[in-house]
Structure 1
């Protein structure tokens, strides 16, 4: 039995080693462990803590498995004591029930603390910017309500500034994810979700759609460019002076199923984000959080959208 176990263990080890070597060349796998902002670093610490706590259970279990298979294997001259009347051990039960309970309690406390921390801007003393995101089939549309510009399949943000991403969908449900900046958030028709992120250093970072949405799912990728505030302002001015205007008809054409290249627009239809939310049955925006000051937080009659998160009345038919 032990020889058979050793052979299987050797095969598993070889497979894991080969997979590790091969995956080091893949870009998305380790981006989450290379954070470039406060949100990503906070989540990395939680991942490391979870790994350590899980290892406290798994490592001894695997060691005991090997020891038991070796110590109590059937062999001539085995001197292991035979106790057929042995039933249980209170001490052992306290150990194998008590340790997991303590670990789960510690992990739950740190997870809850982290979740509530990430509902606020990473930097409290810096004025944030707002980027409104609409997921389409199979492309991403970004609006800048304060700058009055829009982009497709890429966005640019200033470094050291909290970014309030407001998310919805004008297509099937998807998931907005920039691994190096922080965790993912869903984009849902008829709902406007929020996600705080921040980049601390200039660079280009990869974004992904993490939900399967059909044949073009693999192309649901976008680029995030983090630049200094002066470079960001220069980019905004360049878009305003050199890019075309997106009309309502142009947006309707853009949202049709299909792929799209990167594009920039010097203007877009006013209230487009909120119109997309409302036309998909939206009645609630941003949960119980305070909305941004942009005109996109008002409905077509100019009234603020209901900010209460009454789950019993929420339209989830989409």
Structure 2
């Protein structure tokens, strides 16, 4: 049996397995099928950039095959000319085309860096529907925790864990932060990834244009529960969203400071949770690292430092007591433990694979 016949036989045997392997790519590519205007613009940007790059890739790959066949050794239609060293037309093409492509990409990058800035308020609902100036965006405060997502609706006075609902064709303004480590809020069908960082507030303006079910997740590795840090996103009409919010308002639990501290304990595979009321100003205290009673807020510390800076003739005199900012560490472990134990029966985190975070000095000191 010849080697060629043997290879053909092996290929025929394994060809069905190779065909099955490509079925893994048959799931819907959510990035290419967005339901929000910002995500649509980002999808279009990807396609435009891809098309411009293909203007180089396709001719190069095609000419590689053509030259290999035309100028191959032996009988070939091409003429071999060893004295050929330069061609002005070829030089013009190989320099002009890439420069034009780079120029186009530069212009597109400049424009979209401003129009798709996540901090920039929206000026339209969709490509064919401008945004009225009197429309107020829906406020949502997103907190990345270990390992779950907390969404606070301050105007509705409710909060959810691992569930997000948005009204269709209503602009949304997300305020985003994190509790312990840098994270990333990613909702592929709505908009791009936005970082969430402790002690800081990021922002995202977006709008959902189609009703339906989608999902979001953490796009930044953060430890043991990272892979389960996902949430459902519901696209609802205005009446459906109002009904959803009213249902939570009528039947949810209360998100007090004590329950927030208990919720902030590391846990994995956390089920959907609803809260019918939220302690006023809790998101700002999360950003300022002072949720735990008795902890001085970052904003207050910075205000004192600025005041001392002025009093000392412009000489910076830091007064930050790092130990006072240590949420959950040794200096306040007694307070947190007491609060968490008092709320253990009030906040249902059963079957969530709760983990105990190791105590370490200065866990939140440097931000």
Q: When the two structures are superposed, what TM-score results if normalisation uses the length of structure 2? A: 0.68
When the two chains are superposed, the root-mean-square deviation of aligned CA atoms in Å is 2.9
Q: Is the 8 A contact 2:185 2:218 kept in 1?
A: yes
Compared CA separation, residues 79 and 67, structure 1 to 2 (3 A): closer
Which has the higher relative contact order, 1 or 2, with Cα contacts under 8 A spaced 6 or more apart?
A: 1
- Partner of 2:104 in structure 1? 106
Highest CA radius of gyration, 1 or 2?
A: 2
Q: Is the 8 A contact 1:274 1:299 kept in 2?
A: no
**Per the alignment, in what secondary structure is the counterpart of residue 169 of structure 2?**
coil
The alpha-carbon deviation at position 112 of structure 1 amounts to 2.6
Q: Is the 8 A contact 2:70 2:77 kept in 1?
A: no
1:91-170 to structure 2, matched below 5 A, reads: 91-118=89-116, 119-121=120-122, 122-123=124-125, 124-125=131-132, 126-170=135-179
- Partner of 2:286 in structure 1? 276
Compared CA separation, residues 136 and 51, structure 1 to 2 (3 A): same
Query: Is the deviation greater in 166-175 or in 112-121?
Result: 112-121
Determine which of 236, 241, 257 is the counterpart of 1:227: 236
C-alpha separation in 1, matches of 2:175 and 2:54: 37
Determine which of 216, 224, 236 is the counterpart of 2:245: 236
Compared CA separation, residues 20 and 48, structure 1 to 2 (3 A): farther
- Partner of 2:180 in structure 1? 171
**Per the alignment, in what secondary structure is the counterpart of residue 167 of structure 1?**
strand
C-alpha separation in 2, matches of 1:17 and 1:47: 28
C-alpha separation in 1, matches of 2:103 and 2:92: 16
Q: Is the 8 A contact 2:71 2:77 kept in 1?
A: no
- Partner of 2:24 in structure 1? 22
Structure 1: gaps spanning 5 or more residues:
1-6, 281-297, 304-316
C-alpha separation in 1, matches of 2:111 and 2:18: 34
- Partner of 2:318 in structure 1? none
C-alpha separation in 2, matches of 1:87 and 1:250: 77
Q: When the two structures are superposed, what TM-score results if normalisation uses the length of structure 1? A: 0.77
Compared CA separation, residues 272 and 88, structure 1 to 2 (3 A): farther
- Partner of 1:62 in structure 2? 61
